[in-house]
Chain A
Amino acid sequence: MQRFKLGFAFTLVSYFCIVLLYVPSLAVIFFSVNDTRYGLSWRGWTLDWYRKLAQDPYILEAAWNSLVVAAVSTVVATVIGTALALGLSRIKKPGMLDLFVNLPIVVPDIIMAVALTMAFSILRAFSSLFDMGFFTLIVGHVTFQISFVALTVRSRLATMDKDMDLAAKDLNARFFFSFTRVTLPLLTPAIIAGAMLAFTLSLDDFIISFFTHGPNSVTLPIFIYASVKRGITPEIHALSTLMLIATVVLILLAERAATALTKRSRKAARKGLREAGGEAGAGGAGADGAAA
């Protein structure tokens, strides 16, 4: 694409947007190192709030809960979501199913939260597993993460060069072989990207967690929300600053991982193809051998 010249107004609007987006976060960071409990004037630099944060058992518990929920739900959702994307790609006309999979993306999250609450209240009659707590929180997160993982993987499936898959087929590779050695390596970047997206979505989610959490499974966003209602303390600013930093690190990592993985995945897929080729060349039993 050739670059072009734009008027000064475009620059102005762009910088205005960035200021608008970053002023709140900068204010939080500013107050997290400000040596005053009340009031908003600058009273000198301090790290006391961070120290207090590290000693607060409730905050540490909430942070741990957030991480556990995000990690577990991401792993589960990545597996289910990837399977869903692959399954859909094997159907010629997904039709209704297509819409159905995207439901969590188009349904407002508060309605999803309501739906989950209702499902749990009915299922509770059958099993105490569905009392509000870690399990319900994880199920809630998985339900919306699935669609986002499936969306990411499907967009990759749609643009992936089908040549490699077809080549594997031409070489008479058994389905299982071409799947594990060619398709999966090619999909890895998308799967990782989907998992990263699911992880951040889980860490960020407020409303669904708010509806489905129990007294023992308070996550960081819920904790911060409750503190905002009680009256904000500088410890909360420190906590939010740490979460901001974690977000930035996660994004940069995801970016790095995506570029590195795309290169490696192609290599791995080519290697898989060569192996398939070698076995097909070795004789008619090659394909059977690959499946075994």
Chain B
Amino acid sequence: MADWRGFWNTARGDSLRRRSFTLALLLPGALCLVVFLAAPCLSLVFLSLAERGEFGTIHWTLSLENYKRLIGFNLFGWSPDFLFIMLRSLREAFFTTLICVLLSYPLSFYIASRKSSFERFVWLILLTVPFCTNVVIRTYAWQLILGPGNPLAKLASFLTLQPPGAPLYPGFLAVYLGMITTFLPFTALPLYASIERMNWWLPMAARDLYAKKSTVFLSAILPQTIHGLYVGVVITFVPAMAMYVVTDILGGAKYMFIGNLIQHQFSQARDWPFGAALSLALMVLTLLSFALFKTSRLTRKGEMY
């Protein structure tokens, strides 16, 4: 017993104790993430090589059939439906992110320019409330506004954009409105955090030296806010790509995203292997977009700073 205590007091014992404590701290969380997230994500690769049997069972074959289907080959030849859905998700996620960034910069500057700290606090709360509001509620609410007989739909039919009495959803406008209002706080909050910490003497000095407005922004503001912008873009683009709720409620069956397609494979279609292939495609598309974003000129400029 005494020896045992002695061992803990030696340098080796102390280091061992510290290490085992660290391990004990890490273990539950790491285990949870491995079992429920990392391992199943890896097994998606194998599942995507399997095939759907009758009644939605899984046949463990090793074939690239699902990927062939993904790029459009089916029993009847070639049709690019799935490719279109993927491209649409990419395009919509890109434009949603872009519009959110374009709105977030002026908004964050405006909030940061408020003089009283209370006023800034109120604006931040105004951004945080939608951030924390349930996405299902915020999305179906647009159905109310865009519904038939409401001012917006009346205006649209008055401008002969659509037949009178028809709602403005499902459709392209409704999806964009839903997406932008869902993700605007996601982009704006991280951006504000970095704009608030910004060194304002730099853009001021640039202006005093008669730099063009675009130069002031690109050389004195963007590099300082690039970190917040990066975080904002990531947490907007990733969920926007995989969006399910907004496109389901406001887009309808004709306006599917890859998220809806994946959900469909795992529920009604009961085609898990194809769903796995689609999930992998979504992951690859997301990662590729990031690789592009990270190596773009814009980001490199920020890192030079």
Contacts and interface: CB of A to CB of B under 8 A. Distances in A.
Contacts of A147: 33
Interface stretch (B62-70, B73-81, B157-165, B237-245): B237-245
Given A116-B36, A247-B129, A251-B125, A24 B142 contact: yes
Given A24-B181, A107-B41, A255-B125, A114 B144 contact: no
A103 interface: yes
A158 interface: no
A1 B109 CA distance: 13
Contacts of B185: 21
Interface stretch (A51-59, A78-86, A165-173, A262-270): A78-86
Contacts of B239: 108-109
B133 A244 contact: yes
A63 B160 CA distance: 44
Contacts of B141: 24-25, 27-28, 240
A125 interface: no
A100 B26 CA distance: 12
Among A203, A228, A250, residue most surrounded by chain B Cβ atoms (within 10 Å): A228
Given A106-B234, A204-B134, A18 B126 contact: yes
A110 B263 contact: yes
B145 A23 contact: yes
B113 A4 contact: yes
A28 to B, nearest CB: 5
B106 A14 contact: yes
B134 A203 contact: yes
Interface string B30-73: 10110111111101100100000000000000000000000000
A202 B36 CA distance: 17
B184 interface: yes
Nearest to A203: B134
A37 B25 CA distance: 55
Given A119-B39, A206-B135, A87 B26 contact: yes
Q: Is the interface of B mostly helix, strand, loop or mixed?
A: helix
Interface string B12-40: 00000010011111101110110111111
B102 to A, nearest CB: 9
Contacts of B114: 3
Interface in A17-63: 17-18, 20-25, 27-28, 31, 39-41
Interface in A167-217: 175, 200, 203-204, 206-207, 210-211
B286 interface: yes
A146 interface: yes
A9 interface: yes
Nearest to B26: A87
Interface in B115-140: 115, 121, 123, 125-130, 132-138, 140
A110 B247 CA distance: 13
Nearest to B115: A3
B147 interface: yes
A120 to B, nearest CB: 8
B224 interface: no
Interface string A115-141: 111110010000000000000000110
Contacts of B43: 118
Contacts of A159: none
Contact of B25 (A11, A86, A117): A86
Given A80-B29, A109-B239, A25 B200 contact: no
Contact of B113 (A6, A200, A224): A6
A13 interface: yes
Contacts of A221: 134-137
A83 B26 contact: yes
Contact of A84 (B30, B126, B286): B30
Interface string B219-247: 00000000000000011001101101100
Contacts of B132: 200, 204, 247, 250-251
A52 to B, nearest CB: 18
Contacts of A150: 29
Given A22-B130, A114-B266, A119 B35 contact: yes
B36 A110 contact: no
Interface of B: 18, 21-26, 28-30, 32-33, 35-41, 43-44, 47, 103, 106-107, 109-115, 121, 123, 125-130, 132-138, 140-145, 147, 149-150, 177, 180-181, 184-185, 188, 196, 198, 200, 204, 234-235, 238-239, 241-242, 244-245, 249, 259, 262-263, 266, 272, 275-276, 279, 282-283, 286
Nearest first, the 7 closest Cβ-Cβ pairs linking A and B are: A87-B25, A24-B141, A108-B242, A84-B29, A87-B26, A115-B40, A13-B106
18 contacts: A18-B126, A21-B184, A21-B185, A24-B181, A27-B141, A90-B25, A97-B26, A101-B33, A110-B282, A117-B266, A119-B36, A119-B37, A140-B36, A146-B33, A224-B140, A228-B140, A228-B249, A252-B125
